[in-house]
Amino acid sequence: MKKTKTICIVIIVLMLSLTTTSYADWIYTHPNGTKYTLPDDIPAEKTFGSNTYKLNFDILRDKHLVVYGDHTDVSGNEKKSTDVSGDEWRYLGLTMYGDKFTNKDFPNDADSGRKPWEKNWIRNPWGMGLCKSSKFNRDPDATKWIETLGWGMRGEELIDFFVIQIKPTKYAPGSAKGFHKTDKGVVYYQTFYLDPLEEVPEPKPMETSVKADFYLIPETYEYYDTRFSDHSKASPGSNIIKWELKIDGNNGYTKTFTKKKEAENELSKGLREGKYTFILFVENDYGKSDQASQNIKVKKEGEITEIIVKPMITAPEKVKVNNVFTVKIVKNSILHVINKLEYIHWYIYESDKKVNPGELTQENFTYRPEYDDKMEFEISFDKNKYVYFIVKVGYRE
């Protein structure tokens, strides 16, 4: 039995180690200082042979293509001028697999003036010794790749005329070569760009905002917990590097905290009587800042006013006959924080008389009314008057 348990534990540990392995998106910092979040399956750099090439972010941003290095990293590369886009290089750089990344905007080597689909393409050029056959042409998805030529023809009609040299992948294009014959019998070849299987979304500059936020009860007694807690947040990829809480009271009290834990610990011990303004300032590592302010009134021992907004009990206003309903005690209500609860009594009314009295000691109280009447809860605290909370139960429509 011990061996079985040991094996189970080992398997569970292995499963956890496998399932919890994940890679977060990474942050690219442009030379101008702008940061971008990029998918984790687009590496920052790739090594081919003994050379390492960095991701070409400008091409990624402008053309949504994943290119490593640039045109200077492809030997024998050439440039041509176009009327539309200016100078274009035959190859943009390298794909993420180390192949030459064909530039689809590079002008054709020869232009007869005919559209590609108007040319006299040679069927099965590999059978005529014009090129070698390619295993990629036999791929089940080959016709889909060829169809991205965009000639308005089905892939099944085109696959026999082109040899797929490089298959397209998630972020890298493929290429296909075809051979056509002129009216004079001269054979030319032309290489075509096959779209990547997935286009990279346009990189967006990272959100670098920061939000100052904190919780504080609006009213309490002297030296009771103010319930101060910090909830400030910085956007993913950024950090709060400056945190400052300034407190000013109408009684001459003033203090500045620069560490939130210190502030939370000290403010949990309470403040003396007075009115206070809390101002929280935060700044992140991108120079973005924000501030928030709240007020709190600290009173001498006595009755809390109507500023207490969170009820002690939550329950429906009315319940039908024989319908079960639940009454819940709100543990984190302000009344709980600054008062010591003595008891909660509940009563069922029948013909305007209190019957079945009982004490509510559980967190949740469930009841099924059988009469058209009401239920009353009587709450008592050591520093507060009685509070009555009434639920109309057992009504009939």
Residue 267's pLDDT band, with cuts at 50, 70 and 90, is very high
354 CB neighbour count, 10 Å cutoff: 13
pLDDT of residue 12: 29
Residue 17's pLDDT band, with cuts at 50, 70 and 90, is very low
DSSP assignment of 118-154: GS-BPSSGGGGTSS---GGGGSTTHHHHHHTT-SS--
pLDDT tens by residue, 96-129: 878 788 887 888 766 667 888 889 999 999 998 8
**Beta-carbon contacts of residue 157 (< 8 Å; ≥ 6 apart):** none
pLDDT of residue 274: 94
pLDDT of residue 111: 66
Q: Residues of the chain with pLDDT > 70: what percent?
A: 68
d(CA 95, CA 103): 11
Contacts 24+ apart (CB under 8 A), 148-153: 148/194, 148/195, 149/116, 149/176, 149/192, 149/194, 151/116, 151/117, 152/117, 153/117
The CA distances from residue 127 to 122, 132, 180, 396, in Å, are: 10, 8, 14, 89
**Would you mind telling me the total number of residues written for the chain in this entry?**
397
Structure-token match 């009860």, residue found: 217
pLDDT tens by residue, 129-176: 888 888 889 999 999 999 988 888 898 999 999 988 888 888 778 888
pLDDT tens by residue, 308-365: 434 556 666 666 766 776 766 665 554 555 555 566 666 666 666 666 666 655 555 6
pLDDT tens by residue, 56-98: 988 888 887 888 999 999 999 999 888 777 889 988 998 887 8
CA dihedral 213, 219, 221, 223 (to 10 degrees): 10
pLDDT tens by residue, 27-36: 777 777 777 7
247 CB neighbour count, 10 Å cutoff: 21
d(CA 325, CA 369): 9
- Say if residue 24's pLDDT is above 70: no
- Say if residue 381's pLDDT is above 80: no
Structure-token match 């009295």, residue found: 357
Range name among 226-230, 250-254, 370-374 with the lowest pLDDT average = 370-374
